[in-house]
Amino acid sequence: QKEVEQNSGPLSVPEGAIASLNCTYSDRVSQSFFWYRQYSGKSPELIMSIYSNGDKEDGRFTAQLNKASQYVSLLIRDSQPSDSATYLCAVKNYGNNRLAFGKGNQVVVIP
Amino acid sequence: DTEVTQTPKHLVMGMTNKKSLKCEQHMGHRAMYWYKQKAKKPPELMFVYSYEKLSINESVPSRFSPECPNSSLLNLHLHALQPEDSALYLCASSLRLAGGLPHYEQYFGPGTRLTVT
């Protein structure tokens, strides 16, 4: 089992709709969870961090964490064409400073 | 300010060349990283420095040699690279203390696009 899994294929959403991305992780003691946005040819940009169970909202982004089920999700409300990018889920390993990344999900927002 | 800077932005080098990539952060972070990223793949960790000491080497070939001169600077020395080493090389930093607690948000620099000919 991979450390961090993002299984969904490319996601196409109409402008103004909600984009939903999911991520599961295997290390039960992981404590820190992150979502990065990466535009083509650019470096990853941190958009959300979450440490506790529940929801965390920042603008149009909401991160949800469920440690019992070992998943973390990202919702993008009122999706805009500028949200078209690859979204990477990352989980910090316990005991070191290493991040484990999922393979990423491409989101395409259709005007 | 969450800025990590990297130079150069682009680098083309031959297989016999020696070159260096440079990275700098002024966020007071205590951990710095080198990643390699190929197209349509997630970043692949190469090295981690924690408190200026090498803490993780992900079995990287010796033609890549990291150096951390101080807490703000990170270098990656390149020698005798292969064409398959062509990739985007990313530097990142993390680990700050706030209110006595560690925070692990990791911020990436813009990257160096390396082409080995």
pLDDT > 90 in chain A, percent:
85
Q: What is the pLDDT of residue B25?
A: 96
Whether chain B has a CB inside 8 Å of the CB on A101: the answer is yes
Distance from CA of A44 to the nearest CA of B (A): 6
Q: With an 8 Å Cβ cutoff, is B68 touching chain A?
A: no
Q: Smallest Cβ distance to A46: which of B55, B107, B111?
A: B107
The residue among A78, A81, A77 whose CA lies nearest residue A110 is: A81
As a whole number, mean pLDDT of residues A84-108 equals 92
* Range list of H helices, B8-114: none
The mean pLDDT of A63-78, rounded to a whole number, is 97
pLDDT for A1:
65
Of A34, A92, A103, the CB nearest to B42: A103
d(CA A72, CA B53): 32
Which of A42, A46, A103 lies at the smallest CB-CB distance from B105? A46
Mean pLDDT of each 10-residue bin along chain B, 117 residues long: 90 94 94 96 96 95 97 96 97 84 90 97
Long-range contacts of A47-56 (CB under 8 A, 24+ apart): A48/A74, A49/B105
Considering only residues A14 and A98, tell me which one the structure prediction assigns the higher pLDDT.
A14
Query: CA A44, CA A78: separation in Å to the nearest integer?
Result: 22
Q: What gap in Å lies between CA B93 and CA B78, rounded to an integer?
A: 20
Q: What share of chain A is helix, strand, coil (3-state, %, to 5)?
A: 5, 55, 45
Return the pLDDT at B1. Answer: 64
